[in-house]
Chains A and B, each alone.
Chain A
Amino acid sequence: MDYQPISGIPALIAMSLKVTVIFTVVMLVVAYTTLAERRVSAWIQDRSGPNRVGPGGLLQPIADGIKNFLKEETLPATASRVFFVLAPMLTIVPALVTFAVIPIAAPLPTPWGVVDMIIADVPIGILYVLAVSSLGVYGLVLGGWASNNKYAFLGGLRASAQMVSYEVALGLSLVTVLMLTGSVTLTEMVWQQQQLDVWFALPLSLAFIFFLISAFAETNRLPFDMPESESELVTGYHTEYSSMKFSMYMIAEFGHMVTASALMATLFFGGWDLPGMWDDAFWYQGQLIKGFASDGSVLLAAPAVWKTLITFGAFALKTSIFLLIYIWVRWTLPRFRYDQVMALGWKVMLPVALAYVMVMAGTILSLDEVGLQWGFFYGMVLTAVSALCTLFFLLFIDRGHTIVGAAALERQKRTVHLPRRASAPTPPPAPVAAGQEAR
């Protein structure tokens, strides 16, 4: 049977449906991530957590939402009113529109044609994600500035510096993914992982580690939650925000978390892909194919409703695992100091990521030179090279040389200021009499 992409009026209806449904689902996932965070935190800390509203506390997010709508809004007398109101909206919109280019399941066959399970398969793909998700920082900085509150202002400053620092490492870890896929669209990234028979988390393990760390820093989650560290800045940039405006900042933060988790699942864990060729599907020269035969002819894919449902389940599972890791890490690692955050971004991740990009580029070109077939063995060679890089990074690059605790800094100061041994040895200091020592 020949499958054609959906077109005409049904395509418009499908588009509207996709936008509405995916937007609603993302909002619901965000709401229930807040509940999951509280329940999992409670579980980790051996207490109950919210369990009174609805069965097992399942209606808690709805109660929270209603409560936030009904709470009094405060507006500081000294705040810049226009920007104070504008800032939460500037934060929440980028957080919710980033999801548009992430494919969530295998294409769905309908009587009117095949529907891609993605809101917009735009040709710029990952560049759209990079561009839009970094717009969120404007809302944080503006909110912190407009509040006219010292804590909020410092929180906004920290947020901007931290987010731009880690965007560099994030971009560099993406460059290796682009080298393997040869395309910036996320649908093709999923497809290339299906073709390679290995999810990119293995061939690009160090890039995945960098992406994970940067994603934590970009979403301002512990251990990188300097912009809102309660022990120093009250709650940072949203100190002055109350009722729904506060809620909008929270929705934006969790929205970024959901998007980052979905991105990690898509870029490094095959997105909606499951092992095996049965679910593979990609538009190749107007045909929906699942791969190539050994003589180069195409093998047509067979999309089915049950395949779409199962692959959507796989995608949701992968995303939830990353969301769980977000919450888990929050109660595992203590917060960094700000100079440690900056040192990790600029002195460790940036140079290592640059070197890694060049190493992987050299490896891929060498493998092509040898004429190795794009497939499982190719992926395994890359995995071995990446594993070596990762081991080198984890074991040698930073063992307390760059990122150091306060005590180590003191020790350094003491050792650095010892008198240098010149060509002529300095005379030993005159022995100090016992009485003179205190001076």
Chain B
Amino acid sequence: MNNFTNPGAAMSGAYLPLLLLFTVSVLNAVGMMVASHILSPRRPTAQKEMPYESGMIPLGDTRARFSVKFYMVAISFIVFDLETIFLIPWAVQMRELGWSAFLAMTMFVVVLAVGLLYEWKKGGLEWD
């Protein structure tokens, strides 16, 4: 299966169109910003510049503390997204690697599943 190679893709210039597209997109974004900056009227008043809180005068500070749950989600994400990243190289070569690699990956997945179960039972996934 490794024999499938696109001669176009094998060239080192395969990434050149990506660079071009990226440049076009950035220029497009900057262009939109600049154009709307030039074209749009600007008559600021104190009321317009207030943060919008449904018409009320804003109360308190925005940079307040927020729930620690968001950090928990971020940490769990790092663990399980890394797991996915580890699975991808194995998945691509799975049919060549055969049963021994399957066994190794099963152990890996089981260990992480136990970790997930532990986090679940500890209440790390609850949201209230």
Contact = CB atoms under 8 A, between A and B. Distances in A.
Interface of A: 5-6, 15-16, 18-20, 23, 27, 68-79, 85, 88-89, 92-93, 96-97, 100, 116, 119-123, 127-128, 147-151, 153-154, 157, 160-161, 164-165, 167-168, 171-172, 174-176, 178-179, 181-185, 187-188, 191, 234, 239-240, 243-245, 247-248, 282-286, 338-339, 342-343, 346-347, 350-351, 354, 357-358, 361-362, 364-365, 368
Main secondary structure of the interface of A (DSSP, over half): helix
Given A68-B36, A185-B9, 4 more contacts: A74-B49, A93-B26, A128-B18, A168-B80
Contacts, number: 247
Could you say which interface size class chain B belongs to? 35 or more
Contacts of B106: 358
B57 interface: no
B50 A77 contact: yes
A339 B116 CA distance: 17
B41 A72 contact: yes
A339 B127 contact: yes
Interface of B: 1, 3-10, 14-18, 20-22, 24-26, 28-30, 32-33, 35-37, 39-44, 46, 48-54, 58, 62-64, 66, 69-70, 73-74, 76-77, 80-81, 84-85, 87-88, 91-96, 98-99, 102, 105-106, 109, 112-113, 116, 120, 125-128
B92 A184 contact: yes
Contacts of B21: 19, 23, 96-97, 100, 119-120
Contact of B25 (A96, A120, A167): A96
13 contacts: A73-B37, A75-B44, A79-B51, A93-B25, A97-B21, A119-B17, A149-B52, A176-B91, A247-B32, A343-B127, A346-B116, A347-B125, A361-B94
A357 B4 contact: no
Contacts of A72: 40-43
Chain B interface, DSSP helix/strand/loop, else mixed: helix
A178 B127 contact: no
B84 A15 contact: no
A16 B40 contact: no
Contact of A149 (B43, B53, B76, B92): B53
Contacts of A123: 9-10, 14
Given A20-B24, A148-B62, A245 B95 contact: no
Contact of B44 (A74, A172, A234): A74
A156 B40 CA distance: 26
A346 B76 contact: yes
A247 B53 CA distance: 21
A361 B105 contact: yes
Contacts of B20: 15-16, 19
A351 B80 CA distance: 11
Contacts of A6: 8
B49 A188 contact: no
